């Protein structure tokens, strides 16, 4: 993606929920699991590490190699990775994220502490120690892993490479220099078993809210409505159609995912500028997703389906 100072753009790298899928009928929307690349004022932020992060990592390494002639002149990869929750479809790409194997890379990962275990411990035990040949600590990059909760915000200052994690005082927006990227989060319990973090990334007077793996409530979720109010862009879980959600044979209610109708309601209540439906069920092929999109657009003109490669420039969206 093109870099300039006042930038705020995203690219979808993986849009599936549950598990990756690969077939001719899934090519248009893509088969990789959750990952969204965000470029905000020259800072790379990655939402979730599903299999979509693998291609992103390869691209970052190619850019790294072409940025200089040796390790001393090359521009190190700097990335902040925000984890919504440690379910497999959101972390399974992390062991294959190539920048993590380059010594000069600086990778800061944030996630949810659960069941008295730090996020680093969860990540390490879930994927690295048990189903991958390397330990997390054996990766050669500088990797920091921190817990984050809704009383904290991450600040990415324009003149400082390290992110700063600060505690919010009275939930007031922090006073920061222009150009700073501010990342906050909201805990939702509407996803089994340990809940999920909804992230908000704000910069240049606009905000993006990433709300995946979150089931809607009847009448809307007032906590989300407040958190996402006036967001330029809302990315929202819409895994199951209404029919499947309430199917008499195999209802999906309680699985921790929303219907497009719930996502649309969330966008309307929050007055979001644009809605992207996300976390597609792997059982829905391109034709099924097109039909869902057509129906969603009738209910909300700004609703679109996420697909792999979709790029959105938030600086061009209304605030």
252 near Zn ion (CB under 5 A): no
Smaller CB separation from Zn ion, 43 or 87: 87
Q: Total number of residues binding Zn ion (CB under 5 A)? A: 4
Q: Candidates 69-77, 152-160, 205-213, 310-318: pick the segment binding Zn ion (CB under 5 A).
A: 205-213
Phi and psi (nearest 5°) for 83? -100, 125
Outline where DSSP puts E strands in 148-226.
152-156, 164-167, 181-188, 196-203, 206-211
Query: CB of residue 90 vs Zn ion: minimum separation in angstroms?
Result: 6
Q: Are 278 and 84 in contact (CB under 8 A)?
A: no
Residue from the set 7, 48, 213, 281 that interacts with Zn ion by CB under 5 A: 213
Query: CB of residue 285 vs Zn ion: minimum separation in angstroms?
Result: 19
* Sites for Zn ion among residues 12-71 (CB under 5 A): 17
Smaller CB separation from Zn ion, 88 or 304: 88
Tally Cβ neighbours within 10 Å of residue 63.
13
Q: Candidates 84-92, 108-116, 270-278, 311-319: pick the segment binding Zn ion (CB under 5 A).
A: 84-92
Q: Candidates 74-82, 87-95, 222-230, 242-250: pick the segment binding Zn ion (CB under 5 A).
A: 87-95
Smaller CB separation from Zn ion, 64 or 284: 284
- Looking up tokens 């092929």, which residue turns up? 285
- Looking up tokens 């809210």, which residue turns up? 209
Smaller CB separation from Zn ion, 89 or 265: 89
Query: CB of residue 213 vs Zn ion: minimum separation in angstroms?
Result: 4
CA dihedral 62, 67, 72, 77 (to 10 degrees): -60
CA distance 143 to 103: 10
Instruction: Name the token pair of 301.
Output: 């003109």
Smaller CB separation from Zn ion, 21 or 181: 21
Residue from the set 26, 87, 108, 214 that interacts with Zn ion by CB under 5 A: 87
Residue from the set 7, 37, 89, 265 that interacts with Zn ion by CB under 5 A: 89
Q: Are 196 and 85 in contact (CB under 8 A)?
A: yes
Smaller CB separation from Zn ion, 176 or 292: 292
Query: CB of residue 236 vs Zn ion: minimum separation in angstroms?
Result: 13
Smaller CB separation from Zn ion, 8 or 278: 278
- Looking up tokens 């690219």, which residue turns up? 11
CA distance 270 to 169: 24
Q: Are 200 and 228 in contact (CB under 8 A)?
A: yes
CA distance 319 to 125: 41
Which residues contact Zn ion by CB under 5 A?
A: 17, 87, 89, 213
């Amino acid at each position: 993606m093109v870099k300039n100072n006042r930038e705020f753009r995203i690219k979808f790298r993986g849009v599936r929920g549950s598990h990756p899928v690969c077939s001719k009928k899934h090519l248009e929307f893509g088969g990789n699991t959750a990952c969204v690349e965000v470029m905000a004022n020259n800072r790379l932020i990655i939402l979730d590490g599903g299999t979509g992060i693998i291609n992103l990592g390869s691209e970052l390494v190619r850019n790294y190699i072409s940025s200089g002639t040796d390790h001393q002149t090359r521009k190190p990869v700097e990335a902040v990775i925000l984890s919504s929750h440690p379910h497999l479809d959101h972390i399974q790409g992390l062991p294959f994220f190539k920048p993590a194997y380059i010594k000069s890379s600086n990778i800061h990962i944030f996630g949810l502490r659960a069941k008295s275990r730090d996020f680093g411990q969860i990540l390490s035990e879930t994927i690295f120690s048990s189903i991958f040949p390397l330990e997390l600590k054996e990766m050669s990059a500088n990797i920091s892993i921190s817990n984050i909760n809704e009383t904290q915000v991450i600040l990415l200052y324009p003149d400082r490479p390290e992110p700063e994690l600060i505690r919010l005082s009275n939930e007031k927006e922090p006073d920061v220099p222009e150009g700073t990227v501010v990342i906050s989060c909201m805990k939702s319990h509407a996803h089994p078993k340990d809940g999920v973090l909804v992230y908000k990334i704000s910069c240049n007077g606009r905000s993006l809210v990433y709300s995946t793996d979150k089931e809607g409530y009847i009448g809307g979720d007032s906590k989300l409505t407040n958190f996402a109010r006036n967001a330029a862009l809302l990315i929202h879980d819409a895994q199951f159609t209404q029919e499947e959600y309430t199917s008499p044979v195999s209802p999906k209610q309680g699985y921790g995912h929303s219907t497009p109708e719930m996502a649309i309601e969330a966008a309307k209540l929050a007055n979001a500028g644009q809605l992207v439906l996300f976390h597609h069920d792997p059982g829905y092929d391109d034709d099924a997703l097109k039909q869902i999109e057509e129906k969603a657009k009738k209910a909300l003109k700004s609703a679109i389906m996420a697909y792999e490669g979709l790029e959105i420039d938030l600086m061009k969206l209304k605030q």
